[in-house]
Structure formats: structure tokens, C-alpha cells
Amino acid sequence: MKTIAQIAAELQGYDPQALPAKAVLDFLQRLVTPVTESTEQPLFDALGKVLSADVISPMDVPPHDNSAMDGYAFDGSQLQADVPLTLKVVGTALAGKAWVGTAGLGDCVKIMTGAIMPAGLDTVVPQEIVTQLGGETAFVVIPPGMLKLGDNRRLRGEDLAQGHPALLKGQTITPARLGLAASLGLPSLPCWRPLRVAYFSTGDEILSLGEPPREGAVYDSNRYTTFGLLKRLGCQVIDMGVVKDDPSLLEAAFQSAAAQADAIITSGGVSVGDADYTKAMMKKLGDVAFWRIAMRPGRPMAVGRIAAAESQKTGAMLFGLPGNPVAVMVTFLAFVRPALLQMMGCTDSPSPLLKAHSQEPMRKKSGRTEYQRGWVSTAADGSLQVRTTGSQGSGVLSSMAEANGLIMLHHDQGNVAVGELLDVMMFDGAI
């Protein structure tokens, strides 16, 4: 396990007082360590968890050639480009059981969607295409040029082949992947255990809900936004409340968190020039770096490891976030969330940035990454457009509540003109 100093030495141009956003991601990628404990989870409990091993298909899917629609199955070798094909209906194949009978050249079998293809038949004509002849539909006529051999037939194993991977280690179990596992008859899946994340706010000015208001104090919103972000991510959240600016209380909180969690998240107490004890306690108890990131909002951040008092545990990752509510959410989405996903063993590719045209000019200073709260919508011509949600102050929580994504103005980017194409990090369920 590398130390903060060792990782810093590997990064060209590393400057903790002016760290570009990209360098933060590079640093965290080298610092975090994935969990190694795996559990077998029943399907209903597996949603949102991460696979700890490949899932090998125990069967072919579909398990037999079957019809892709309601129609008539026949031998497609009889099709001719310019001549209608008349076939005699000799039976009906229903889904759920094989048709018992024989069909040769000149014959067809009425078939339902999902029914097993009768032996010797390889093509299905949709029932709405044919012309029916005879009072009891004894014959059907297929017009020329409408089909080719093999149409409307699903082949055995064309979705999944027995013995091949159906799901891959590191994939998050989505509703679609849950259904895929169920289609294979699997009652459970191997998953990495949920990540345990302890969280607390710091500061004498922070009020817990239920406390009476007092001058100079603010109610703690950060615990609730962070709780929501962690729960959406599938983490097991350990809420440790508000910790006052008292060295003994802070030390006890950090050690308790490190003893029971994989990661610790705090808000407040990491700015340059703070008069509280949070930074000093982080230094005392762990290997921690304090950064000034070239970004807005969310410039101050601490990252590292906090040692546990118990010898049997190595400690926990630490993410010390700013105190302002919007800065907490922005730094979480930009840096902490990717790091926690890596700790969870997730190898899914991150969601791509969306491209949208700016509906307004924006001022931007080159040399830092800015995350503006934005609302993406569809313009009259069908293209995507984005506007800010008003005041972009790091304490304006309503601007985040009204947004559906973060407008990313990159490190070297300057002022934005109306109509300029911008990158947007969509919330997409993360918030």
C-alpha cells in the first residue's frame, strides 16, 4: 500500500496548493483499495451491488430455436423471389411445449411467439402478411419478396451460450442484469460486500435537527445530502452526527469511524486558516494530504487514510470535504463517488458527459475547473440546450435542488458564448 508521499512523487507537477481536477482523479485512483470480501446475495437483495466474479451461463438462451412472432413456420428453402408460395396448414405450435407432428415441403405450422420451431422448419411468416384460403384456414399464401430464409426465428443460444460469461466481475447489478440472471435460473449472485462509509459534520456552529435556532448557527444539511448520495450509491451508511470543535471528541469520532468503516467522509474544517482542530486531528491520526484544488466550488479538500485503534484493522479512507453545501455535493460527485465506486470493485465505464448548447453567456476564468448547476432541456429543433439555475454561490442549496446536471467548464476553458457546446455531467439518479 503506497503512502501519500509515494503517490505524490509519481504524479508529474504535483502541487497540493493548486491541484487540477484531473490530477485529483489520478491521485485517488492510485490511493484507493477495493474491498476483498465476497458474499452470495439472493437476487432480490443483489440489485445495486457489484459482482465479485464472472457469472457463467449454465444453459443456452434461448434453450431452443423458437418463433420471434405469431405466424406460420415453414421450410424457407421454398421461397422464390417472384412467385407466391402457397402452404398447407398442418397443425398449431403453442408456446411452452413442442409440437408433435411432421411438416414437409408444401406444409406449414401455425405458431405462436416463443413456441419451439418444429423439426425441419426454419422460417416464420408473420400472420398479417399471408392471405388465408379455405374456411378453416387450410392454406396460406405468402406474397413474393417479403421474406428470406431464416426470418423471424430466434436461434438456440443466440442471446447467451452455455459455458460462456453472461455477466462480468465488476459490473453493477442493474434491473436488466437482475432479469438476465433470473432468466438463467440463478437464485443468487456473487457480490462484493457493500461499502461501509461513516459520515459526520464538524463545527460548533452546526445545529442538528430538533435543536433550537441560535445566532450564528446553521442547521446541518450536509449530513442529509451526503446520506442520500451514499444510499443512492448502495453504501452502508454509518451516521455519526455532528462533532463539535473539541480535540477529544474529534479524536474519538475519527477512531470510532476508522474501526467500523471502509471510508470516512467529513464536511468542514479543511480550509486554509481554519481555527478549529479538525485538520490537526487528521494529521495526528493518519496519512493525509490537504489540497487546494483548482476548481469552483469546492477548493479545499483533504484525502488520505485514518488509522484504526484496533490492531486487526488497517484503517479507513478519508475524504474531508468543504463545509458549504453545494461544494460538498460537487466534490462528492466529481471525486468521492468515482473513488468509492473503485473501492466497491466496480469496473463499469462512467456515464459519458452530455453535450448541450449554452442558452446564456457565462464568465469563466482559465486555470480552474468550474461546475455550474444547470438544467438540460430539448430545444425546438431537437438539440439539447442547457442553462444555469441562477446564483452559483457555494451555499445556495436551492440551485442544486433545481438542477439536473453540472455544467463542466474545463481547466483551460475561458468565457462561454451563447450557443457554445458544453459538457454536462448529468445527475442520472446520483442525486
User: Which domain CATH number covers 20?
Assistant: 3.40.980.10
Residue 431 lies in a domain: no
- Of the chain, the percentage scoring pLDDT greater than 90 comes to 81
Residues with Cβ within 8 Å of 405's Cβ and at least 6 positions away in sequence, in order, are 354, 374, 375, 376, 386, 424, 425, 426, 427
Residues 85 and 138 in one domain: yes
Residues 183 and 54: their CA atoms lie apart, in Å, by 16
In this prediction, residue 125 carries a pLDDT of 98
Domain interval for residue 318 = 4-37+194-343
Average pLDDT over residues 11-38: 94
Cα torsion 102, 105, 110, 115: sign: positive
With a cut of 50, say whether residue 275 has pLDDT above it.
no
Residues 282 and 264: their CA atoms lie apart, in Å, by 11
With a cut of 70, say whether residue 92 has pLDDT above it.
yes
- Of the chain, the percentage scoring pLDDT greater than 70 comes to 97
With a cut of 80, say whether residue 5 has pLDDT above it.
yes
In this prediction, residue 431 carries a pLDDT of 77
| Strand, helix or coil for residue 226 | helix
Look up the pTM and report it.
Answer: 0.89
Domain count along the chain: 4
pLDDT tens-digit map of 71-87: 999 999 999 989 999 99
| Strand, helix or coil for residue 68 | coil
Phi and psi based region of residue 145 (left: phi greater than 0; alpha: psi -120 to 50; beta: remaining)? left
Identity of the residue numbered 311: S
With a cut of 90, say whether residue 273 has pLDDT above it.
no
Residue 308 lies in a domain: yes
CATH number of the domain bearing residue 187: 3.90.105.10
Mean pLDDT over all residues of the chain?
93
Residues 185 and 268 in one domain: no
Residue 168 lies in a domain: yes
CATH number of the domain bearing residue 413: 2.40.340.10
In this prediction, residue 313 carries a pLDDT of 63
Identity of the residue numbered 350: P
Residues 28 and 44 in one domain: no
Residues 44 and 188 in one domain: yes
pLDDT tens-digit map of 323-352: 899 999 999 999 999 999 999 999 999 989
Residues 413 and 361: their CA atoms lie apart, in Å, by 13
Residues 198 and 325 in one domain: yes
C-beta neighbour count of 232 within 10 angstroms: 14
With a cut of 60, say whether residue 312 has pLDDT above it.
no
In this prediction, residue 216 carries a pLDDT of 82
Residue 404 lies in a domain: yes
In this prediction, residue 174 carries a pLDDT of 95
DSSP code of 110?
Answer: E
Residues 245 and 132 in one domain: no
Residues 320 and 392 in one domain: no
Vertex 122 angle, CA 119 and 127, to 5°? 110
Residues 140 and 174 in one domain: no
In this prediction, residue 19 carries a pLDDT of 96
pLDDT tens-digit map of 174-216: 999 999 999 999 999 999 999 999 999 988 888 888 888 898 8
pLDDT tens-digit map of 134-174: 766 699 999 999 999 999 999 999 999 999 999 999 999 99
Residues 89 and 109: their CA atoms lie apart, in Å, by 6
Single residue among 192, 216, 249 that ends a domain in this structure: 192
Residues 231 and 270 in one domain: yes
